[in-house]
Amino acid sequence: MYIVGAGRTKFGKLPKSLIELTYEAMFNAIEDSPLDIKDIDAIYVSNFLGGPLNGQLHFNSIIASLLPSLNIPIIHIETACASSSVALNQALNSLKNTPNIMIIGVEKMTGTELMSPVDAIAMAGDHENDYEQGLIFPAAYALIAQQYMRKFGISHDVLEQVSYINHKNANRNPLAHFYHKEVTLEMIKKSQMIASPLNLFDCSPLSDGAAAIVISNKKHDDRDIRILSSQIATDTISLTQRADMTSFLATKIAAAKAYKEAGITPENVDVVEVHDCFTISELLALEDLGFCKPGDSSKMIMDGDILIDGNFPVNMDGGLKANGHPIGATGLAQIYEIVTQLRLEAGSRQVDNPEIGLMQSIGGIGGTCGITLLGR
């Protein structure tokens, strides 16, 4: 199983519509691949808020409208912020019957008027219980941060460093939401409080954008990237049902299965893209994925291990924080980055000769986790 094409749009507050973004990513992925659009046997599309924000559901038929007279099976997958890694996972399951598949992720979050994005994103949580008590998304991650900081005795400085590093990486990624934004530690420290202890720079932005990949059951070209494993796991969505709030069990389970399937250990991984929807999430990810012991991620961060030229580069594209977080497209953008790194095509943010890459995608507050392992 191979990724034979990858394409994306710029992320950010864009003038293009949901549908225009979709088309652009599909076009770029096909152009990047040795295959023709007519070779595609099925499409999986990942989109989270098309209904509440854009008034558009039945999104698979929209894809069909953009590919007149193909009439192939197209399936829409929604698992909140993990939608695109789950779409890839499901596509892989059907690769036997449909040898060439395209996976598209897209989200249009700015300039929409149907509903406040804060309310719409809260749909990824437990609406009946938690949301009714005012637990909007940043508040849920704020509680995780509060618990984590207390348990391991770390200060907000560590979270500020996560934000700072991600912004610095985004300055090397022309397609990133905050490519042009110069961010200083002082700006981060002084930014507006959103839900204590998280301030504005702890939060990923509302972004528009799309990404797409083409997968095939056989290798077509030297640039093709091998899919070593794709695993998903789930967990209770409400934090009140979990014994430990400072770790995501779904990440641990999916990661363990993925390492096993690929026949590797965390030590074999060279480059990583983790789901830093809030800075605290990056700390949890590094620990849950087995790159360090619980409580030790702050050392990796403060020592600079996770820098692009550090000994364990993380979120080279700027992460959700600074590359942007167009929810339905985010997981595929992470895969796009790993593919680009493994192909050695990442330009000024290229990591030295990586062979294995991992992406972690989280839906809600750890209710879904998708792990993808890729190799050269």
Q: Which two tokens stand for residue 361?
A: 């995608």
Known catalytic residue: 81?
yes
Q: Could you tell me which of 290, 308, 306 has the C-alpha nearest to residue 298?
A: 306
Q: Which residue has the tokens 């599909």?
A: 26
Q: Could you tell me which of 132, 94, 162 has the C-alpha nearest to residue 306?
A: 162
Look at strands 225-234 and 271-273 and give their pairing: unpaired
Known catalytic residue: 325?
yes
The answer to the question of residue 1 lying near other proteins (CB under 8 A) is: no
Which CB atom, from 73 or from 111, has the smaller least distance to other proteins? 111
Q: What is the CA radius of gyration of the chain?
A: 19
Q: How far is the CB of 68 from other proteins (least distance, A)?
A: 5
The answer to the question of residue 115 lying near other proteins (CB under 8 A) is: no
The answer to the question of residue 69 lying near other proteins (CB under 8 A) is: yes
Which CB atom, from 17 or from 147, has the smaller least distance to other proteins? 17
Distance CA 301, CA 154 (A): 12
The answer to the question of residue 342 lying near other proteins (CB under 8 A) is: no
The answer to the question of residue 59 lying near other proteins (CB under 8 A) is: no
The answer to the question of residue 213 lying near other proteins (CB under 8 A) is: no
Burial 243-252 (b: 16+ CB within 10 A, else e): eebbbbbbbb
Q: Which two tokens stand for residue 23?
A: 């088309």
Distance CA 369, CA 281 (A): 12
The one catalytic residue in 81, 203, 277, 292 is: 81
Q: How far is the CB of 325 from other proteins (least distance, A)?
A: 24
Of 1, 66, 185, 249, which lies in the binding site for other proteins, with binding defined by CB under 8 A?
66
The answer to the question of residue 27 lying near other proteins (CB under 8 A) is: yes
The answer to the question of residue 236 lying near other proteins (CB under 8 A) is: no
Q: Which two tokens stand for residue 99?
A: 């040898």
Residue positions annotated with a catalytic role: 81, 325
The residues that touch other proteins, with contacts defined as CB under 8 A, are: 17, 19-20, 23, 26-27, 30-31, 36-38, 65-69
